[in-house]
Amino acid sequence: MTKVVVTLPLPDAALAPLREHFQVLAWEHSEPMSPETLAARLGDADGVLCTLNSRFDAALLAANSHLKVISSVSVGVDHIDLEAASASGIPVGHTPGVLVDSTADMALSLMLATTRRIAEADRFIRDGGWTSGWSTGFFLGTDLSRATVGLVGLGPIGQAVAKRLQGFGARVIAWNRSPKDVPGVEMVDLDTLFAESDVVSIHAALTADTHHLVSAVRLASMKDGAILINTARGGLVDEGALITELHNGRLRAGLDVFEQEPLSSESPLLGLDNVVLVPHLGSATAATRQAMVRVALGNLIAGMTGKPLPHCANPGVYS
């Protein structure tokens, strides 16, 4: 019987469709599967269901070119070397579309939490700091309704964020690799976006070209007191440069993603009050995660049975 490796813990009900047709080697632990365990289990496997925690570099893919399919429970596939996968004839599945609204909601949540200093105020109360009455200068924030918000990337998630921002009355400007005509959104060049925005929100894919797209120079060009929101990928931002700007108090930030995940206990970000930190929860609603698993399973079963993947990140593999 053909074998499927599952690198994430899933309930029996989710695995049942796989077990009807395949031998399933499932991971049952909360901590991520180690690279060594992944490599060992792939030895005689035909397919794999994974998450961002499992990295497939060129060496691992070359050693496992017998794989019929890799299906990731994610939209982004920067944890998989797509060029190497295509060279080995391995289609890679992903889950676009299903997490647009939940991720857009997270971006707005971080904007509101950061502009209105919610996390700071919460810590202030819990630490016993609220010992006097109401004050006119207490935790002053920024009105999202009066802000210029710049969106870096205007794909489905970026457009969903733009739609939500229009309900707040914000001015929305955006940059995208290819110009797009989105009602209520003004397209600008990237340098203008960083210079004019009160809030910059990142919604681009991480590729070799976009690594550190939010560079030290672009961060330095932002207004004093401006805010950076990132719900896309940590590698899009020069985290060291951002930490410098946060440490000197010039910028604020709301971050759902980081260059290294999980975030190190030694990260300077943990000691800063002007940043809201969330552990990669953009798609973390029950309905969205269930939909992601459903789409990923569909991709996996299609690949295992020799059919084209419904959602393939490297469609050129079929040409």
What would the DSSP string read from start to end of 91-110?
Answer: -EE---STTHHHHHHHHHHH
Q: Which fold has domain 100-277?
A: Rossmann fold (3.40.50)
How is residue 138 written in tokens? Answer: 């207490």
Strand order in the sheet with 3-6: 23-26, 3-6, 47-50, 69-72, 92-93
201: β partners: 151, 229
How is residue 30 written in tokens? Answer: 């909360």
Domain boundaries, the chain: 3-97+286-318, 100-277
pLDDT on residue 133: 85
First-to-last C-alpha distance (Å) of the chain:
28
Q: What are phi and psi of 96, to 5 degrees?
A: -70, 155
Q: pTM surpassing 0.85?
A: yes
pLDDT on residue 135: 86
Query: Comparing 3-97+286-318 with 100-277, is the CATH topology the same?
Result: yes
pLDDT on residue 27: 96
Residue 311 DSSP label:
S
Q: Is 292 within 8 Å of 101 (Cβ atoms)?
A: no
Residue of 233, 239, 245, 259 marked active site: 233
* H or E segment and range at residue 275: strand 275-277
Q: What is the pLDDT along the chain (319 residues), one digit of tens a residue?
A: 799 999 999 999 999 989 999 999 999 998 999 999 999 999 999 999 999 999 999 999 999 999 999 999 999 999 999 999 999 999 999 999 999 999 999 999 999 999 999 999 999 999 999 998 888 989 999 999 999 999 999 999 999 999 999 999 999 999 999 989 999 999 999 999 999 999 999 999 999 999 999 999 999 999 999 999 999 999 999 999 999 999 999 999 999 999 999 999 999 999 999 999 999 999 999 999 999 999 999 999 999 999 999 999 999 999 8
Residue of 117, 218, 280, 311 marked active site: 280
Active site residue 280: yes
Active site residue 239: no
Active site residue 233: yes
Residue of 19, 21, 146, 261 marked active site: 261
pLDDT on residue 319: 83
Q: For residue 262, say if its preceding peptide bond is cis, omega within 30 degrees of 0.
A: yes
- CA dist 197 and 194 (Å) reads 6
> How is the chain split among helix, strand and coil, in percent rounded to 5?
40, 15, 45
The dihedral sign for the CA sequence 76, 160, 143, 184? positive
**Helix boundaries (H) for the chain:** 12-19, 35-41, 58-63, 82-87, 100-115, 118-126, 156-168, 190-196, 216-220, 239-247, 286-304
Question: What's the CA angle centered on 220, arms 216 and 222, to 5 degrees?
Answer: 125
Query: Which CATH code is given to the segment(s) 3-97+286-318?
Result: 3.40.50.720
Determine the angle formed by the axes of helices 12-19 and 286-304, rounding to 10 degrees.
10
